[in-house]
Amino acid sequence: MEQVETVVIGGGQAGLAMSHHLALRGRDHLVLERARVAERWRSERWESLRFQFPNWSLALPGHDYAGDEPDGFAHKDEVVRFIERYAFRIAAPLRCGVDVTALRCAPTGVGFELTTSQGRIAARHVVVATGPYQRPRLPRWSLELPADLVQVHARDYRHPGALPDGAVVVIGSGASGCQIADELLEAGRPTFLSVGRHRRLPRRYRGHDVFWWRRELGELDRTVDDMPSRLRLPPPVVTGASGGYDVDLRQSAARGLHLRGHLTGIADGALAWADDLQETLRAGDRHYHAFVSEVDAHVARTGLDVPPGPGADDILVDRTRSGSLASPSTLDLRAEHVGAVIWASGYALDFGWIEIPVFDAAGMPQQRRGVASVPGLYFLGLHWMHKAKSSFLCGVGEDAEHVAACIAGDVGQ
C-alpha cells in the first residue's frame, strides 16, 4: 500500500491552496483529483457563466490576478486557466483522474486508509477539499413532472439552444436561477421564474463594486462566532454577465419575465405557486436598503473619499413606486407550452464515501476552522468554515494556512 504523510482530496482552488501551504512547510503530500484541475468550473457550469466577483478578487496564496481588466468579470474558462496556472506555478504534486471511493480510519487507530480507482493509500493526515457544490439538490416534486418533460438541474444547463422548444420554467431565484432566467429571456424564450428568498444587492454603489464594499465593511472577515444567524440569510444575488449589473426582478418582469411565488406542489401537469411573490420582492428590497444604508453610514463615520450616492431612502421610495406584479396561483405546463424545467435549487454535500463518524445529524462535518473532531482529518473550502469568505477563491487560502499549520504542529488544534 502506498504511504503518504498527507493526502489532499480535490484539485480545485481549495486543494491547491492547501498544497501551497503544505509545500511551504516542507510537508510530504499528494493531491488527488477525480478528473481535471478545476473540474467543476469546466464541466458543471453553463457556457456563458462569468465570475460573480471582480477580476481583482481572483487570488490564491502567492498568485494574484495580473490581467488588464481588474474591474471586469472573467469568463468561467478564464477562471479555469487562472487555477491551472496556479497549479503549474506551485508545482503541486497532482494525480488527476483518481477517484476516491472510500475513506476509513486505519485499523491501527492511527491515520487513514483511502480506497481509490488506482489502488489503496495510507495517510497520516487527510484534507477533504471537494468544495461545497457536490450533489445537485432536487426536491421530491421533480418526480411528479410529466415523463416527457425535460428537466435539468442548473449544474447541467448549458445554453438556451440546448433546451427543447417552448417555454422554460426556472425554479429558484438565487444567483444561478436569476442569471439563467435572464439569459433565456434575452434569447427570446418565454420564461417563468419561481421566486424564493433572495438577498438583492447593488452591483456597484458609490464608485465601487459590491464585493469591494463587503470587504471594506468587514463582512468577508466575519466569523461563524460573529454571525450565529448566518444560515438564515439567503446568499447575495449578483451577476458578472454583460459587465455586471443589478439583478432586479422587477426590471426583468418589465422585459417579459413571468414571475411567480415559490413552488408549493405539482399535480396533474400543473405547478402550484404560493401567494408570496410581493412579500418576497419586498424582502429583497429591504436587504438592498439595509446594505446601502450600512455603506452610507460607514462613509459618514470614516470620511471615506467616494462619490455621493442616491441614498437608501430615495432608493426605497423608487421601489415602492414601481407597482405590484400579478402572480397567478397555478401554471398548466401543456397550456403554456412548457418544454423544460430548470431546477436552480442548490446543492447538497455528498460525503457518503467517508466511512468515519464525523458528521452531525444534518450531514455536516463536525469541525472547527477545518479541524475535524477525528484527529488527523480536515475539511477545506466549505461555506462558513471559519469566515464568510471561507469558500471564496480569494478566501480559502487563510483556512488552508491554518490547516497546514495544524498538520505541521505549529499551532494547537
pLDDT at 231 over 70: no
Helix axes 13-24, 396-408, angle to 10 degrees: 40
Residues 279-306, mean pLDDT to the nearest whole number: 94
List of E strands, 222-337: 236-237, 258-260, 263-267, 270-273, 330-332
Distance from chain centroid for Cα 93: 26
- With a cut of 80, say whether residue 229 has pLDDT above it: no
2-134+349-408 and 138-343: identical CATH topology? yes
Judged on CB neighbours under 10 Å (0-12, 13-18, 19+), 179 is buried
322 has pLDDT over 60: no
The 10s digit of each residue's pLDDT in 177-191 is 999 999 999 999 999
| Residue 309: per-residue pLDDT | 84
Structural element, H or E, at residue 101: strand 100-105
Residue 320 has pLDDT above 80, yes or no: no
Task: Record the cell numbers describing residue 288, joined without a space.
Answer: 438592498
| Band of residue 324 on the pLDDT scale cut at 50, 70, 90 | low
CATH class of the domain comprising 2-134+349-408: alpha beta
277-302 vs 312-320: helix crossing angle, rounded to 10:
160
| % of the chain surpassing 70 pLDDT | 94
Band of pLDDT at residue 222, cut at 50, 70 and 90: very high
Tell me what pLDDT residue 108 has: 87
Distance between CA atoms of residues 177 and 158, nearest Å:
13
Question: What confidence score (pLDDT) does residue 226 get?
Answer: 83
Q: How confident is the model over 324-350, as a mean pLDDT? A: 92
Nearest to 235 by CA among 285, 196, 198, 278: 198
Tell me, what's the pLDDT at 326?
73
What is the gyration radius of the CA atoms in the chain, in angstroms? Answer: 23
Q: What is the pLDDT of residues 105-150, one digit of tens each?
A: 999 888 999 999 999 999 999 999 999 999 999 998 899 999 999 9
Q: Where are the domains of the chain?
A: 2-134+349-408, 138-343
138-343 folds as FAD/NAD(P)-binding domain (3.50.50)
pLDDT for the residue numbered 321: 46
**Residue 164, CA atoms < 13 Å, CB-side half-sphere:** 12
Q: What is the pLDDT of residue 271?
A: 97
C-alpha 257/C-alpha 131 separation (Å) is: 32
Lowest model confidence (mean pLDDT) among 83-87, 126-130, 222-226, 380-384: 222-226
**274, 262 Cβ separation under 8 angstroms:** yes
Tens digit of pLDDT for each residue in 396-413?
999 999 999 999 986 655
- Residue 57 CA, distance from chain mean position: 15
Average pLDDT for residues 292-319, to the nearest whole number?
84
Residue 129 has which C-alpha cell?
477539499
Extract the C-alpha cell encoding 378: 480536515
Query: What is the average pLDDT score of the chain?
Result: 93
Of 141, 173, 149, nearest to 337 (Cα)? 149
Which class for 308: exposed (0-12), middle (13-18), buried (19 or more C-beta within 10 A)? exposed
Q: How far apart are alpha carbons 196 and 257 in whole angstroms?
A: 15
Q: What DSSP element (H or E) covers 138?
A: none
**Do 151 and 142 form a contact (C-beta atoms < 8 A)?**
yes
